[in-house]
Amino acid sequence: MNQHNVLFILTDQWRHNALGFCGDPLAHTPNLDRLAAGASFFRHAFTSVPLCSPARGCLLTGRWPHQSGMEDNVGVGASQQAGLSAEVRTWLEAARDHGYRVGYFGKWHLGHPGPSERGAQYIAEPADLQGAEGGKEAARATESGELRSPFREQWLADVARRRPDSFPPFYETLPGTMEETQTGQVSAAAVRFLQEAASDSRPWFLTVSFRGPHFPHAVPEPYASLIDSAKVPLPENLYDDFRQKPWFQNRIWWPCHDTAHLDEEAWRKTSAAYYGMIAMLDEAIGRVLNAVAAADGGRPTTILFASDHGEMLGAHGRFDKGPYFYDEVMRIPLLIRPGEVGLPAREGSGQQPRWRDEYVSILDLGATLFSLAGETPQIPGRDLMPLVHGEWTGPWPQEAFGWYNYYNGHSFVMRSIRTPAYKYVFAPQAVDELYDLQADPGELVNLASDPAHASKVTELRQRLFAWMMQEGDPLLEQWQELPPAGTLVDRLRAGSLI
């Protein structure tokens, strides 16, 4: 039996450097800062799909969406995405089968079967069940011959209730305390699990999956007014004319894409609310960390912290996420503290993390969790623990790939490759993108059609296609037969991946 514990803290839409130890003055994260002492922080960690369910599918399986079947959000809008098949193994089953006491509390968003069917103690969130119902409604609409995006009524309701202190679905001040929020309830469930585990001889494998800082940034005091919005800087790429870019980047595909009502002051308030939620999450994370020492059973505990993807938060004038590969949504925080007994003192030691510069992905994080659970399956993801322990001596390619097929039922087929110097996006339904990340870190100028950069486009496209072939991506055979971008695809009838 494995003689160590694993704690995995998963968040939703946490920007890659929105952390105190990364130097962000708006990030009140004392608990994550103390966790960072003695840990490895990957400065170049990327999601694989900047959309919740596909990203989580990559994470739980260590496989690409076309390999796991998780290609779109589950139960959102007009999506016809089924849950992650029980035939696709996750590290939850691996941990169960290798003798761990397994817990998973918080957001799942991978449909059925859920964590409890995969061997974990689990308390489902009501919002998850509502999402599943939304998926059923979309399927019924398809069966009746009416395939449409059903978000219009939700959007009209949001507009009707908009107030000066509430910009649904952006932010809102809640009554009550943190304990009454989903964040507080998830952390309390995790603490109870740890308290119960203290009397169990088995090592434990606990995932705490917070829904925040995904919008709505609805938090109670003191978090709602913690950040002075007047001191919030605006992103340098707030204004983007989207010239020579895919046309669909500047369209409303979901209520949160309509940012026309946000002037610069409102953007600052929105950002302040986001960081208020981060502060609340850090407090909840601290409560879980404090419960670890009493429940470790004298065994070392490996602790991991990450997000499924990032958040635009004003970059390119966008909020939330959408069908694009901008760094704001592709980069994620990734912190790994190797197995030790106990934790740093509550006030922190002032020690900085060990900064890692390898390009790693959320699939690699999935492979790492498999390894910690006691398995090394043949999957695309790579175990990161040899890097954390300083044992890796071979080459490590400095590149990250991106994958996209759907946004809540709409077809947006793209693949990307990101290197330290450039990002190339293959978008067969629109126009390709190329960004010089050293000269244009804000990704405002698309150079893909510039003759002076034709050779770079060719080089990166060849590397991208080689990767697609390696991973068996069906897009290689289908990219010339795609429907127009934004089409609501009837996957149940067409039987096509894209």
pLDDT 10s digits, 102-125: 999 999 999 999 999 999 988 756
**Radius of gyration (C-alpha) of the chain in whole angstroms:** 22
In the block, which residue shows the tokens 């055979």? 477
Domain span at 68? 5-384
Higher pLDDT, 283 or 145: 283
Between CA 39 and CA 24 the distance in angstroms is 18
Give tens-digit pLDDT for 23-52. 999 999 999 999 999 899 999 999 999 999
Would the pTM count as exceeding 0.85? yes
Going along 285-399, which residue ranges are E strands? 301-307, 331-332, 334-340, 354-361
Give yes or no for residue 141 having a pLDDT over 50. no
Give tens-digit pLDDT for 437-460. 999 999 999 999 999 999 999 999
Give yes or no for residue 282 having a pLDDT over 70. yes
Between CA 48 and CA 309 the distance in angstroms is 8
Show the tokens assigned to 413: 């087929």
Instruction: Establish if 456 belongs to a structural domain.
Output: no
% of the chain beyond a pLDDT of 90: 78
**Number of structural domains in the chain:** 1
pLDDT for the residue numbered 498: 55
Neighbours of 139 (CB within 10 A): 16
> In this structure, are residues 56 and 69 in contact, taking their beta carbons and an 8 Å threshold?
no
Instruction: Establish if 417 belongs to a structural domain.
Output: no
Instruction: Establish if 177 belongs to a structural domain.
Output: yes
pLDDT for the residue numbered 120: 94
pLDDT for the residue numbered 128: 44
Predicted confidence band of residue 96 (pLDDT cuts 50, 70, 90): very high
Give yes or no for residue 288 having a pLDDT over 60. yes
Instruction: Establish if 145 belongs to a structural domain.
Output: yes
Between CA 113 and CA 119 the distance in angstroms is 11
CB-count exposure of residue 79 (10 Å: 0-12, 13-18, 19+): buried
Instruction: Establish if 444 belongs to a structural domain.
Output: no
Higher pLDDT, 77 or 15: 15
Most confident of 23-32, 127-136, 150-159: 23-32
Instruction: Establish if 238 belongs to a structural domain.
Output: yes
How far is CA 175 from each of CA 138, 222, 283, rounded to the nearest angstrom?
A: 34, 11, 18
Give yes or no for residue 136 having a pLDDT over 70. no
Give yes or no for residue 469 having a pLDDT over 70. yes
Give tens-digit pLDDT for 253-263. 888 888 988 99
Give yes or no for residue 149 having a pLDDT over 80. no
pLDDT mean over 293-311: 94
Stretch among 56-70, 126-140, 190-204, 472-486 having the lowest mean pLDDT: 126-140
Q: Which residue type occupies 17? A: N
Instruction: Establish if 495 belongs to a structural domain.
Output: no
Between CA 313 and CA 333 the distance in angstroms is 16
**Mean pLDDT in the chain?**
89
What are residue 442's DSSP bridge partners?
none
Torsion of Cα atoms, 114 then 192 then 212 then 287, to 10°? -150
Q: Which residue type occupies 476? A: L
Instruction: Establish if 274 belongs to a structural domain.
Output: yes
Give tens-digit pLDDT for 374-390. 999 999 999 999 999 99
Here the CATH number for the domain that contains residue 21 is 3.40.720.10
Stretch among 124-128, 211-215, 275-279 having the lowest mean pLDDT: 124-128
